[in-house]
Chains A and B, each alone.
Chain A
């Protein structure tokens, strides 16, 4: 069986794993520059990566039936963790939350990004397609519970991402296009109402996005400095370890949420495009796995988890380049942080497991 697998793998060309390892390696190289000689940090991130790779290798060996069964269990335990965060995670709420966001964003929400599509896939597997209204409602509930819990933290950014991941998985499960169109219309119509429901700091962030020059040293400072870092990189960048914006601390959070700005500053437009090519390659590979998959579970799990990776990356880069408000979303596999690294590669482990399932089916 192991042999069969390797033969099959040859047909896939460059494996997903090698792309992922390359991506992770690029991340570590950036971390080396971002750490500014803080080797402790680099070593820690290497350990995170090593652990995550081990998890990936372990998970990809699991059978899909098994994953399907543990999905609900994982979901429930993550929900419990989220509730615990709400009860005991009180300490980290600073006035400037997003400055040291790293230490107050609670990790269970990260886990949910992968567990939610997995759970939805597992549920849909047992449901008739197209989904009956009751099944739809049941699935929506699965999405709304974590959304509300994360939004209450309050971390509207991550909550919205979780919601979008869930929604995407449902769309992939065959949600009628008509319903989607209605949903979008309703959302647009309701957005002025939702403005009034936002916290002041959330409104401030949106205003800051639209008018970053209004206060350079306040909340717009991050965006302004990040834009300077990115723009000053030019086409080829200033060179590895030569980013002045990040090395002289003008760029805030340059080893976590804003690490993309460091990439843009040191490797320029060219380096960014290379990263995007790698990123799209990974995504397309995962989506093609979803296309070829033979069961609802494998289709949805592949697509959902790939979407989670894709949307987080997009939101992060869009935030760093000033396209959207500053929300505390790290760049998967690149930003400093154990949980994100672990969860992301865990997700790709599931995708690999699904791929193995498809191959088994084919043979």
Chain B
């Protein structure tokens, strides 16, 4: 009995022994599993996870640079950054935030509906969010905020620098405008920036965007899990943008804008001796501040919907037939090429018939101008003379001449959105599957047909003519002043056009001076200094056959002119859409300019 008990006890002990050993083995196995997992995490993916722990705590934020100012040639500020003040609410706890909002609403006089809306936003806010309670405080509102202690936490007054254009609409054709860059959504941390980030959308703001905007800096921040910034670790300071001085005269610009009130068209005043542009205006214009100030959103809607297209820069992008303005160019080079002599004349009966074809090309004056030599042809803008001349020149030489004056290619002006215009040639027409007809040559000779130019191309051509073949790339920027005070001046971008000669230039300009005395530009009138000019009428649809004169179908009118000098410094180019008063506006602008100089 005792033995069996003893053996039973031994057996049990042995069994227990076995089970305990199994249990120990089981735990060793478990620990091996854990060590395996730790090995996987810490040794195999240790580097990756270490970097993820760095990503967790370190964050980068942009330090916005201050955008450079834009100044006119006399130092008047056309675009700058002005401070605005907003009231923000920091949501540490919703209850506190609501209490602060109620105090703000009563002391500041917030509208009930606005109060309600912000209150709802607080309820939806996550801790440490910042909610804008009021934007764009006025001077008095700012005083009120400080008097009533509404700037104390959790409320705070946040300054922000925004772009502002003191000159407004008159200078918009040159300055252009900016749009606020979209902020990245995941900016969980407090954004240390009080400078808004902009990108240039048009004008100098766009073409010189890189120079104006400078370089954004970067700041490395350490944060905790809640996104609270613990410390600034390192920073690369932002480099502010350069200030840009234009060749534009803001006073002249404003005067032009005033005269172009209610018109559609383009005005360019430039200096043929260096390519500087003194005034460049596309009418109607727009207020560039409308893109930045919510209070001006009505204006913006008008700009976007108006059939007059104020945002369309006619100077650079509008394409029109140059019409009679090309006559002096063709006449000069026909003389230079010895195709005609100064005494060559035709007899104008009011129309021109090519050989014996049925096509009749009419002079604008149906009665005809009688005997017409080259000077008279320019003074009275005789079409018939130029029908003859175009046949003498031929399309190939005409294309060369037009090309010499920059038609059909970009002028290279430092503003965005320039169009090519259209310079017809045999090749151009062949590419479109058509053959060049003699009729095409004839009407191209009076600046009609397929020929299209932009006002800036016209101004460029006018300047080249005024400077007797000296060509300067038109530009609106004179110099750039960097934050370290270094000044970079625009390069002398002269490109002499050697291809054509100008020995008969005086002969032609004499005629052009008579244009405003008794020719087609007689309404312009005399000036004290010698002034050469040429008018043009771009025909769209013939109004003559209609019983009612339709304004929108009226011809466009051109006016080009310049002071005749050895070193010309003033040229003007005007285009008016559906209006024939270009020369009257030109007169006022030229007079205004001479009074100033």
Contacts and interface: CB of A to CB of B under 8 A. Distances in A.
Interface of A: 129, 168, 171-172, 174, 225, 227-235, 244-245, 248-250, 264-265, 268-269, 272-273, 276, 279-280, 283-284, 287-288, 290-291, 299, 303, 307, 310, 314, 317-318, 321-323
Contacts of A310: 27, 30
B35 interface: yes
Nearest to A310: B27
Contacts, number: 123
A244 B16 contact: no
Contacts of B39: 269
A264 B53 CA distance: 13
A248 B46 contact: no
B31 A227 contact: no
B138 interface: no
A172 B34 CA distance: 24
B57 A303 contact: no
Can you list the 8 inter-chain pairs with the closest CB atoms, starting with the nearest?
A231-B49, A232-B53, A249-B225, A248-B224, A232-B50, A231-B41, A234-B46, A269-B42
Contacts of A234: 42-43, 46-47, 50
B19 interface: yes
Nearest to B32: A276
B20 A303 contact: yes
A314 B36 CA distance: 13
Contact of A250 (B30, B46, B225): B225
A294 B186 CA distance: 67
Interface of B: 12, 15-17, 19-20, 23-24, 27-28, 30-31, 33-35, 37-39, 41-43, 45-50, 52-54, 56-57, 222-226, 230
A280 B50 contact: no
Mostly helix, strand, loop or mixed at chain B's interface? Answer: helix
B52 A323 contact: no
Given A234-B50, A303-B23, A321-B37, A250 B56 contact: yes
Contact of A322 (B19, B31, B37): B37
Contact of A283 (B12, B27, B33, B37): B27
Nearest to B19: A172
A307 B23 contact: yes
Contacts of A303: 20, 23
Contact of A314 (B15, B16, B30, B47): B30
Nearest to B15: A174
Contacts of A229: 53
Contact of A232 (B17, B20, B52, B225): B52
Contacts of A171: 19
Please classify the interface of chain A as helix (H, G, I), strand (E, B), loop, or mixed, using the class held by over half of its residues.
Answer: helix
B42 A172 contact: no
Contact of B38 (A248, A283, A307, A321): A321
A245 to B, nearest CB: 5
B20 A287 contact: yes
Contacts of A250: 53, 56-57, 224-225
Nearest to B222: A248
Nearest to A317: B34
B224 A249 contact: yes
Nearest to B46: A234
B158 to A, nearest CB: 27
A323 B35 contact: no
B57 A323 contact: no
Given A231-B50, A291-B16, A264 B38 contact: yes
Given A264-B38, A283-B27, A174 B12 contact: yes
B16 A299 contact: yes
Contact of B42 (A233, A283, A290, A291): A233
A314 B37 contact: no
Nearest to A174: B15
7 contacts: A231-B49, A272-B35, A272-B38, A272-B42, A276-B34, A284-B24, A323-B33
Nearest to B58: A244
A323 B40 CA distance: 12
Contacts of B56: 225, 228, 244-245, 248, 250
Contacts of A168: 23
A44 B100 CA distance: 38
B45 A290 contact: no
A197 B137 CA distance: 60
B49 A228 contact: yes
B581 to A, nearest CB: 68
